[in-house]
C-alpha cells in the first residue's frame, strides 16, 4: 500500500429527516410551550417584583430596570453559544444545564444584599440559563414542524401568555405572604421544571452524526471539484495507455501518479487541508457566513429596534398603573388581561399565517406598526377600565407580532440554518434588549412619568417596521430576478436556496472516494 494512503475517520452530518409535523412532535411542542412560559413569561411577570425591589433598595427606575435588561441582553448574547453547544453535544443536555443555572441564579438572588448582586444572579445567571434553554428548544421545534410551523410557533409561544397570566397574581400573593425574597425562592424551585422540558427533546432521526472509515489519499481531501476531475481524467488516460501499449503512453508520462505527488503540491494540499478542516469544524457549530446574507442582516436590524420596544412595556405596566392610583391586585390583573389577549393573538394570527394568504413578512410589518401605535396611545389611559382596554389591545397585537417573527427568520435563511441564524439574530438583537428598559427608565426619571417609557417603546417599534419594508422590497427584487432566470432554485418566499457548506464538501469527498 502506498505510504501516502492512510485510514481516516470522516464525520458526516446526515441529511435532516423530513419534519413529521405530528406524533412525537407534539411533545416537543409541549416542551417549547413550557420553556416560553418559564423564560419570557417570567420576564413579563417580573413587573410585580420591580415595584417591591424599587421600594426596598430605594433606587431609581433606571437602576431597578437594569435587572431585567441584563437578563434580556444575556439571553441574546449567549444565544450563539447555546446554538454551538447544541450542535456539539445535544439539545437535550444543553436545555437541562440551562434549567439548572436558572434555578441556582434565582435562588442565590433571593439572598442579595444590594442591586449589584441582583444584577449578577437574577440578571446575568438567570439570563444565561434562559439562553441555554430557549434557543435549542425553538430550534428543535423548527426541525419537527414544516407544514404546520407557523401554527406550532404560535402555540409554543402561547406558553409565555398562559404562564404570565398565572404567574403575575401568584407572584403578588407570594410577595404579600413571604416578601419578594421568599417569592424568588419559590420561583427558583419552579424553574427546575426547565430540566424536565429538556428531557422531552428527543433528537430527530437522521440528524445525528455518523463516522465512516476509509483509506484515502490525504491530499485528496483538499482538491476542488475542478482539480479533482482533471486529475481523474489524467489517471484514466495513463491507465488506458498502459493497457493498450501505444505510443501515447510515452506522451502521457508527465501525468503519472508519481508526478502528482510532488513535494510542493503536497505542502499546498496539506495547507489547504488544515484550512478546509478548520472551516468545516467551525461551520458545524457556528455558521458565520450568515453575516454575508443581506436579508438576514436587514432582519437583524429590525430585531434591534423591535427589542427596544418589546420589553419595556411589560416591565413598566404595573408601576404605571400604581402611579395612577390603581391598587396592587388590579394593577397585577392588567398583566393577566394582556396575557389572555396575547394568547388569543398568537393562536389567531399564527393560524392566519399558516393559511399563506399574504407573505408572512407583510403580516409582520402590519402588526409591528399597529403595536407601535397602541403603545403611543398608552399615556392617554389613566383609569382602570382605560388601562384594561389598553392591556387588551397591547396583548392582542403583541401576540400577533411574536407569533410569526421566528417563522419569518426561518424563511429568510432556511430551516437548515435556523439554529445558527437564531443565535446570531439574538446576539445582534441583544443591544436593543439591553438598552430598551434603561432608556425608558431614563425618560421616566427625567419626566417623572411612566407614560414616557411607553412613548419611547412605540417610536422604536415603528422605526423597526421600516426595516421590514426594506426586507419585503428585497424579496420582491429577488422574485423578479428569478422570473428572468427560472433555473435559479428559490424557496417559498422567493429567496435563493442556500446549500449547507459542510454537507456539500462531504458529498464531493465521497464522490472522489468512489472514483
- DSSP secondary structure of 324-380: TT--HHHHHHHHHHHHHHHHHHHHHHHHHHHTTSS-HHHHHHHHHHHHHHHHHHGGG
Q: Indicate the Cα dihedral angle 79, 83, 85, 90, nearest 10°.
A: 130
Composition of the chain by helix, strand, coil, percent to 5 = 80, 5, 15
Strand partners, 6: 216
Print the SS3 string covering 232-296.
HHHHHHHHHHHHHCCCHHHHHHHHCHHHHCCHHHHHHHHHHHHHHHHHHHHHHHCCHHHHHCHHH
Cell numbers of 515, please? 472514483
Q: Residues 12-59: pLDDT tens digits?
A: 444 456 667 778 888 999 999 999 999 988 988 888 888 888 888 888
Q: What percent of the chain has pLDDT over 90?
A: 23
Cα 199 to Cα 95, 202, 239, 362: the distances in Å are: 8, 7, 57, 37
**What pLDDT sits at residue 288?**
64
- Whether the CB-CB separation of 343 and 401 falls below 8 Å is answered with no
- Residue 304: C-alpha distances to residues 36, 194, 258, 317, 465 (Å): 20, 27, 58, 22, 11
* pLDDT reading at 81 higher than 70: yes
Q: pLDDT above 70 covers what percent of the chain?
A: 73
> Which fold does the domain 25-206+287-482 belong to in CATH?
Growth Hormone; Chain: A; (1.20.1250)
pLDDT value, residue 106: 94
> Which run of H or of E encompasses 209?
strand 209-217
| Mean pLDDT value across residues 232-259 | 48
pLDDT of 271 higher than 50: yes
What gap in Å lies between CA 228 and CA 498, rounded to an integer?
Answer: 24
Cell representation of residue 1: 500500500
Cβ–Cβ < 8 Å for 360, 408: yes
pLDDT computed for residue 23 by the predictor: 80
Residue-level pLDDT at 274? 66
What is the CA angle 131-338-308, rounded to 5? Answer: 50
Helix/strand/coil for 38: helix
Please tell me the predicted confidence (pLDDT) of residue 158. Answer: 81
pLDDT of residue 343: 85
pLDDT for 247 = 46
Asked whether the whole model's pTM tops 0.75, one would answer no
What local confidence, expressed as pLDDT, does residue 34 receive? 93
- How confident is the model at residue 284, as a pLDDT? 56
> For the segment 175-216, what is each residue's pLDDT rounded down to a tens digit?
999 999 999 999 999 999 999 999 988 887 654 443 333 333
* Rounded average pLDDT over 297-304: 89
pLDDT for 300 equals 87
pLDDT one-digit tens code per residue, 474-511: 888 887 776 766 554 444 444 444 444 444 444 544 44
> Phi first, then psi: what are they for 494, rounded to 5°?
90, 15
Half-sphere exposure in the Cβ direction for 387 (13 Å, CA): 25
Backbone angles phi, psi at 493, to 5 degrees: -105, 15
Instruction: Give start-end residues of each CATH 1.20.1250.20 domain in the chain.
Output: 25-206+287-482
List residues bridging with 7 in a β-sheet.
215
- pLDDT tens string 418-458: 767 777 787 788 788 778 888 888 888 888 888 888 999 99
Mean pLDDT across the chain: 77
- Residue range 240-254: average pLDDT? 46
Amino acid at each position: 500500500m502506498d505510504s501516502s494512503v492512510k485510514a481516516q475517520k470522516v464525520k458526516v452530518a446526515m441529511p435532516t429527516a423530513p419534519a413529521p409535523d405530528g406524533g412525537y412532535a407534539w411533545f416537543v411542542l409541549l416542551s417549547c410551550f413550557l420553556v416560553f412560559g418559564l423564560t419570557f413569561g417570567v420576564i413579563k411577570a417580573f413587573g410585580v417584583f420591580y415595584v417591591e425591589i424599587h421600594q426596598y433598595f430605594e433606587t431609581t427606575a433606571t437602576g431597578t430596570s437594569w435587572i431585567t435588561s441584563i437578563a434580556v441582553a444575556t439571553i441574546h448574547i449567549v444565544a450563539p453559544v447555546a446554538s454551538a453547544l447544541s450542535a456539539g453535544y445535544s439539545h437535550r443536555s444543553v436545555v437541562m444545564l440551562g434549567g439548572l443555572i436558572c434555578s441556582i441564579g434565582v435562588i442565590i438572588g433571593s439572598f442579595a444584599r444590594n442591586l449589584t448582586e441582583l444584577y449578577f444572579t437574577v440578571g446575568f445567571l438567570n439570563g444565561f440559563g434562559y439562553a441555554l434553554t430557549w434557543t435549542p428548544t425553538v430550534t428543535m421545534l423548527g426541525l419537527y414542524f414544516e407544514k404546520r410551523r407557523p401554527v406550532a410557533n404560535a402555540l409554543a409561544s402561547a406558553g409565555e401568555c398562559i404562564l404570565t397570566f398565572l404567574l403575575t397574581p401568584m407572584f403578588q400573593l407570594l410577595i404579600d405572604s413571604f416578601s419578594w425574597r421568599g417569592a424568588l425562592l419559590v420561583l427558583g424551585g419552579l424553574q427546575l421544571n426547565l430540566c424536565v422540558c429538556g428531557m422531552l427533546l428527543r433528537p430527530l432521526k437522521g440528524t445525528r452524526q455518523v463516522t465512516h472509515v476509509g483509506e484515502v489519499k490525504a491530499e485528496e481531501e483538499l482538491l476542488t471539484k475542478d482539480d479533482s476531475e482533471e486529475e481523474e481524467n489524467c489517471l484514466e488516460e495513463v491507465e488506458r495507455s498502459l493497457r493498450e501499449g501505444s505510443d501515447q503512453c510515452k506522451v502521457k508520462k508527465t501525468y503519472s501518479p508519481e508526478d502528482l505527488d510532488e513535494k510542493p503540491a503536497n505542502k499546498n494540499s496539506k495547507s489547504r487541508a488544515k484550512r478546509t478542516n478548520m472551516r468545516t469544524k467551525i461551520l458545524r457549530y457556528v455558521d458565520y457566513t450568515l453575516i454575508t446574507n443581506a436579508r438576514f442582516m436587514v432582519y437583524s436590524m429590525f430585531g434591534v429596534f423591535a427589542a427596544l420596544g418589546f420589553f419595556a412595556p411589560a416591565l413598566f405596566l404595573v408601576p404605571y398603573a400604581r402611579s395612577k392610583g390603581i391598587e396592587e391586585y388590579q394593577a397585577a390583573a392588567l398583566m393577566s388581561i394582556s396575557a389572555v389577549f396575547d394568547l388569543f393573538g398568537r393562536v389567531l394570527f399564527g393560524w392566519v399565517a399558516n393559511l399563506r394568504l399574504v407573505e408572512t413578512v407583510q403580516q409582520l410589518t402590519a402588526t409591528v406598526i399597529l403595536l407601535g401605535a397602541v403603545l403611543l396611545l398608552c399615556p392617554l389611559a389613566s383609569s382602570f377600565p382605560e388601562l384594561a382596554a389598553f392591556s387588551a389591545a397591547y396583548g392582542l397585537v403583541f401576540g400577533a407580532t411574536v407569533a410569526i417573527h421566528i417563522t419569518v427568520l426561518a424563511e429568510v435563511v432556511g430551516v437548515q440554518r435556523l439554529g445558527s441564524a437564531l443565535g446570531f439574530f439574538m446576539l445582534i438583537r441583544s443591544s436593543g434588549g439591553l438598552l430598551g428598559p434603561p432608556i425608558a427608565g431614563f425618560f421616566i426619571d427625567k419626566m417623572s412619568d411612566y407614560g414616557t417609557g411607553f412613548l419611547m417603546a412605540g417610536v422604536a417599534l415603528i422605526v423597526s417596521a421600516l426595516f421590514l419594508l426594506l426586507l419585503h422590497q428585497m424579496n420582491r427584487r429577488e422574485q423578479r430576478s428569478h422570473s428572468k432566470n427560472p433555473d435559479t432554485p428559490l424557496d417559498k418566499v422567493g429567496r435563493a436556496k442556500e446549500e449547507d457548506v459542510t454537507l456539500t464538501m462531504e458529498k464531493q469527498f465521497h464522490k472522489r472516494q468512489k472514483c
